[in-house]
Chain A
């Protein structure tokens, strides 16, 4: 029995190390995408005009583009959904586009289509630049705050493990957005912060278990203790990730076009977050030289717990 357990521990360790290489490769691949292709920044960041409307008639993209080009003075990008009934037109923020301000009402009067306007957005280009700064600032502040909190609450090696894990999650999600050319808007920044929260949640629970086992200190190696901690928390991690992923999937499928990108970011974030909490956040402290001694002086603290 004991032997069998030990053997399992070793496989888990091997799995962890191999996965760590895999994670590193993924991060490099994502960074490659972010820096070579760049993010497809949405209207929130670039500024411009976006008009959404529906038509009762179903049209092909080419037809609609031909119809619109006579009404819009400047170049525009057109996207359709729901079998050519839901349309969104994006124009740049410049003088030319401004002249075509009331084009939709002209268009609906003069074309034979039944047009129902849904949403029209104008965002000045200077707003976008500020948002990029603000979003980046928010991400960095939250990482620093969390690092501080974790260092105060845990040993610094465990804290570093969690923070590296969350950087891994954010970079991979950004990489997915870069490689697949998905529009990156303000709600995605919100979802990135939610992913940070979620990823930490997972990492902390594994870290908590490691700490608990170290405090109990039953003469085992750090490696087997980490493996035991992962095994003890894996059921919880999978259940919580499972229900969270299921609810996000519900949002993705049913909550409509405007939340699709948001749900996609959350879905991929929770998925890699679960992976990284098992692989990275527990393995990195071990590599950084976490040892049982780091928790020995804390033994008195154990008694003070209620």
Chain B
């Protein structure tokens, strides 16, 4: 203050004040987009130049008859634009208009924000609304990584069996005592030959740890670290697959995140019917390609029946699996039969090329596997043979699966394959669908509660503290603006119904900062200090108390944020941000305002005679 170049005798402009004004302006601009909303506009454009635009009255009459509310209709030579009052009505209105006008007009809709042009320059975004305010569908999936680990080991065990057969080593038993280890049993005299097999196994599966139990038993196990790594990989792969599937469904605003150790939380705002989304998200489809076994009596063989009941014996080793599929499109062959065209990635292409070159004229089996829950709530893997095709030629990275039963089946398989296959079975453990109307009600109620809560607080503060109360009220208003601005700015903050309650609570508690300061000033005045000095030391001395009180609330807020999900997380975010903004406005902004307003020549302040 002393060495400020801007110091003037009457009106002091300190650099702190400039920073405060700048920050507040920035917050205001960030908060403003919340006043405006995204409006859905349906456009009717005539297909040929002759047909005239439909009169606004006609459309309005039609919509009023069906009790559908709209904001405005604009008819011009280019076409008619209908702005909807409630975006929840989109489907109903589009259906109605299609029935009436689709012969001569094309109907499409777009989302526009009704903010003024100057505000759009700043590219501000309104606060994202949680599912309980916007309506939509929530899924929480449980990923069974244990099962995936078990399956992986089962594959390895089969592989070991075929390796042993190829090397003519007799193993008396290969078993899986638990989901992370395999036990090999053999007669003690064969230990040396088995040792060779073990070196081979180590070469192909370096992640397995070998331990000798006795001369006739060896255990191969995933170490704790490898298990953790496997689970993590499975989770991230499942997460990626889920994002792919949701993208395939055409939902853009979805939130997909990991929740806890083995859960995935998927929020789909705006989705009305959970069943379709559920079928695609919950499916655990995977596709594997097998070679038919050469020796019919060999061990390490998978047996399966195809649709006609024919027994098939396949080599347990997968030629390649669905994870190598880069793209899948459904289509038709020359005969009009549905099929799925596949494009493989580089690794898969190489594998396929190698395999098909050596096996021309031999059959290849395509197996489709899916997990589902049976009546006893156990996870069951159901595999079925889609087709058995003879390899006609040397195949590359592009080929197709024929013999699909219906075009719809082909489409769904293509979608699932495109979005990636899952190695771990998933179960929906939590599901919630919230209608958009409930969301609108929740917002209305929340805003009502907020307005009344603020109203009471403002009136009380004015009556109790008079002129300083007005400063506290101004600080409270600025606090609310800053909080809204901060929430709009930070990505990942979501406003939920408990969040609105948090907002109201923050308002009630925000005055605390000012009350503490004012009580302190009163104390100083009663001790006979001069007005400006009392204000100065009041702000200074109250600050450490304010800091202590807020840090502890912040600790609980952060813990709540760390463990909570969804609506509770929304509450925690507001609690934490509210503490930050209330300290900023309550201490710094109101100090600046006090300096601006209060002059030395007061006869009375805070009820204390001077």
A interface residues (Cβ-Cβ under 8 A, vs B): 52, 95, 116-124, 126-127, 130, 134-135, 137-138, 141-142, 145-146, 149-150, 153, 186-187, 189-190, 193-194, 196-198, 200-201, 204-205, 208, 232-233, 235-236, 239-240, 242-248, 250-251, 253-256, 258-259, 262-263, 266, 305-306
Contact = CB atoms under 8 A, between A and B. Distances in A.
Nearest to B520: A236
Given A122-B432, A124-B430, A247-B504, A95 B375 contact: yes
B509 A190 contact: no
Contacts of B450: 250
Classify the secondary structure of B's interface with A.
helix
A247 B552 contact: no
Contacts of B550: 201
Nearest to A245: B508
B563 interface: yes
B545 to A, nearest CB: 5
Contacts of A306: 540
29 contacts: A118-B438, A119-B433, A119-B438, A121-B431, A122-B432, A134-B563, A142-B559, A146-B552, A149-B555, A187-B568, A190-B571, A201-B509, A201-B512, A201-B550, A201-B552, A242-B460, A243-B460, A243-B508, A246-B457, A247-B454, A247-B457, A248-B504, A250-B449, A250-B450, A251-B501, A255-B446, A255-B449, A255-B504, A263-B501
Contacts, number: 199
A150 B434 CA distance: 43
Q: Which 10 A-B pairs have the closest CB atoms?
A: A247-B453, A124-B429, A247-B508, A197-B553, A244-B508, A250-B453, A254-B449, A197-B556, A255-B449, A122-B431
Contacts of A208: 544-545, 548
Interface string B541-582: 000110011111101110110011001100110010000000
Given A146-B552, A153-B548, A243-B460, A255 B501 contact: yes
Contacts of B456: 243, 246-247, 250
B516 A120 contact: no
Nearest to B460: A243
Contacts of A134: 563
A19 B549 CA distance: 24
B452 interface: yes
Contacts of B142: 124, 126
Contacts of A121: 430-432
Contacts of A126: 142, 429
Given A118-B438, A198-B553, A245-B508, 19 more contacts: A150-B552, A186-B568, A194-B556, A197-B552, A204-B552, A205-B545, A205-B549, A239-B511, A240-B508, A240-B511, A243-B460, A243-B509, A243-B511, A246-B453, A246-B456, A248-B453, A251-B453, A251-B505, A258-B497
A95 B498 CA distance: 32
Classify the secondary structure of A's interface with B.
helix
Contact of A250 (B504, B519, B564): B504
Nearest to A124: B429
Contact of B437 (A116, A258, A305): A116
Interface in B428-467: 428-435, 437-438, 441-442, 445-446, 448-450, 452-454, 456-457, 460-461, 464
Contacts of A266: 501, 505
Contact of B448 (A186, A246, A254): A254
B563 A138 contact: yes
Nearest to B512: A240
Nearest to B567: A187
Contacts of B453: 246-248, 250-251
Most A CB contacts (10 A, CB to CB) among B433, B450, B502, B504 go to: B504
B38 interface: no
B89 interface: no
B515 A239 contact: yes
A256 B437 CA distance: 14
B523 interface: yes
A217 B254 CA distance: 61
Contacts of A189: 568
Contacts of A256: 441-442, 445
B260 interface: yes
B377 to A, nearest CB: 8
Nearest to B377: A95
A120 B272 CA distance: 12
Contact of B516 (A52, A124, A198, A236): A236
A251 B446 CA distance: 7
B140 interface: yes
A119 B515 contact: no
Contacts of B292: none
Contacts of B507: 247
Given A259-B497, A259-B498, A120 B512 contact: no
Given A138-B563, A240-B511, A251-B501, A123 B429 contact: yes
A250 B460 CA distance: 15
A259 B464 CA distance: 30
Contact of B515 (A145, A236, A253, A259): A236
A147 B90 CA distance: 54
Contacts of B516: 205, 236
A262 B501 CA distance: 9
B576 to A, nearest CB: 10
